[in-house]
Amino acid sequence: MIETRNLVVRNGEFTVQDANLRIAGGKYGVLMGKTGSGKTTLLEAICGLKRVVSGSIIVGEREVATLKPGARGIGLVPQDGALFPMLTVKEHLEFALRVRGWSSADQHRRVDELSTLLQIESLLKRKPHQLSGGERQRVALGRALSFRPATLCLDEPLSALDDDTRHEMVELLKRVQRETGVTALHVTHNRSEAETLADIKLHIVAGEVMQVEKFPAPHIPLAP
Amino acid sequence: MTSESPPNTEQGAASKWREPPSDLPFFAGLGILAAFYVLLITAMLAADVSFAAAEWRKALASLLTEEIKYAIWLSLISCSITTVLSLWVATPVGYLMSRTNFPGKTLVDAILDIPIFLPPLVIGLSLLILFRQTPLRYLDDRFPIALHIPAVIIAQFSVASAFAVRTLRTTFDEISPRREQVALTLGCSRSQAFWLVVLPESWRGLLTAATLAWARSLGEFGPILVFAGSTRTKTEVLPVSVHLELSIGNIEGAVGISLLMVVVALIVLVVVRLLAGSERVARS
């Protein structure tokens, strides 16, 4: 579950005011809004990358507003992937596991699982500059899911992709979310992406979360 | 119809779709200015080479004296120590200046640039005065620094690290903080994110900063002359050797030592360019 209660976040002159949203466990929430509406600020606050002025953030059953980003149990997929240029794909999938002290056998097993889930088995030895846009986002998704977070935040992850790759990635995101049961908060300004992916659709306008629409879950047809 | 409203006439249409002026004068101007500067540099080096070639026996003999051999070793060792010290200081300073905001940052930024703008002799004089005042005077009395080898390294460090700080700050500015933020969500502390994500990514900046610090140290003269002195086989580094040879009228020797410094600097420059270039090619 992801929930914010009366959340106030400041980003320079801009303020996200009293943001209230709730995405039930295992659901796919899509937060829509125009450029500059505060959607990325809100996402960063949930991930712990932006300091909260007031209000609370609940992830799972925990209040996390004062926790460090790494203690919140949230995987982040940024807009451009933000892959580490010096690491191979395999090292990306192992990164969080190594930092969190997993044994090498467990790391190995997890890399196998993730590479199969995301169909990137053949890319494991490559570095980011040897990947296409879609492949990069798959790796970013794998890295974010690697330490088995219950929650996933995606910041316009498909905005830089061509139509075909975007369609593939939308299907992949939906499948991965169903298979892992992760609760997702996906920020986008793309309407068709939202229609296809969302169990719960939220709008943010000028820093205020305006509207919450609930879609009939869980069977949402994928875009043709 | 007036000349200001020609849209429907043939002449008006022709002027509307007129070809833009030729780019040739622009590029010719750029080329001439660039060629002038490149020629100046190569002509200086060529003049040195031709002068030393005419008097090569004397130039070579100067390089083989015990004093110059000592100066070569002292230069190489002191420059290498200075480079390590400069990176050791410039990396955290550059990172701090790039990633954090704090009261008085503008002032600190200006202070960090002082060694770049200050005349070299003034830096040497300031160091000399500083080490003759308490508490550094007590240190200097017990472990001789001023007019000894440590003074050579401190004088080189004072200037070289300012260039290293500037280079590394630009490097860190160019690295998106987004990757560090992702590392934080993956469970890293700020320190882990720096060591595991930022530092490996900034290797090219580190290499440039190290080269710059090393080259600046090799050519440093003013601060060393004042703070470390110019005692033969004691605080004599290569630029001091050039000065000493010139002061006794041995121009051939001075040119020989200068050419040696040019060759060493070129070797370092080429090696660094090759290292950085091979990575760039691999990435493209």
pLDDT digits (tens, 9 = 90+) for A91-136: 999 999 999 999 999 999 999 999 999 999 999 999 999 999 999 9
Minimal Cα–Cα distance from B237 to chain A, Å? 39
Residues 6+ positions from B209 with CB-CB distance below 8 Å: B86, B87, B90, B163, B164, B167, B168, B171
Mean pLDDT over residues A49-68, rounded?
91
Contact across the interface for A69 and B181, Cβ inside 8 Å: yes
pLDDT of the residue at B141:
82
Contact across the interface for B185 and A129, Cβ inside 8 Å: no
What is the domain partition of chain A in residue ranges? 2-214
Q: Quick one: fold of B55-283? A: MetI-like fold (1.10.3720)
Give which of A79, A86, A136 to mutate to test B binding, by max B Cβ within 10 Å. A86
Model confidence pLDDT, tens digit, residues B27-47 = 999 999 999 999 999 999 899
Does A46 reach chain B within 8 Å, measured CB to CB?
no
pLDDT of the residue at B14:
59
Please determine, looking at this structure, whether the domain spanning A2-214 carries the CATH number 3.40.50.300. Answer: yes
Model confidence pLDDT, tens digit, residues B128-153 = 999 888 788 888 888 888 888 999 99
Model confidence pLDDT, tens digit, residues A183-221 = 999 999 888 888 889 898 888 877 677 656 554 444 444
pLDDT of the residue at B278:
61
Model confidence pLDDT, tens digit, residues B70-112 = 999 999 999 999 999 999 999 999 999 999 999 999 999 999 9
The model's confidence at residue B274, banded by pLDDT at 50, 70 and 90, is confident
pLDDT of the residue at B232:
87
pLDDT of the residue at B122:
94
pLDDT of the residue at A220:
44
In chain B, what residues touch A80 (CB-CB under 8 Å)?
A: 178
Query: Exposed, middle or buried by CB within 10 Å (0-12, 13-18, 19+), for B8?
Result: exposed
The model's confidence at residue A18, banded by pLDDT at 50, 70 and 90, is confident
Q: Where are the alpha helices (DSSP H) in chain B?
A: 10-16, 24-54, 56-63, 66-99, 105-117, 120-130, 136-142, 149-174, 177-185, 190-193, 199-201, 203-219, 222-227, 238-247, 251-283
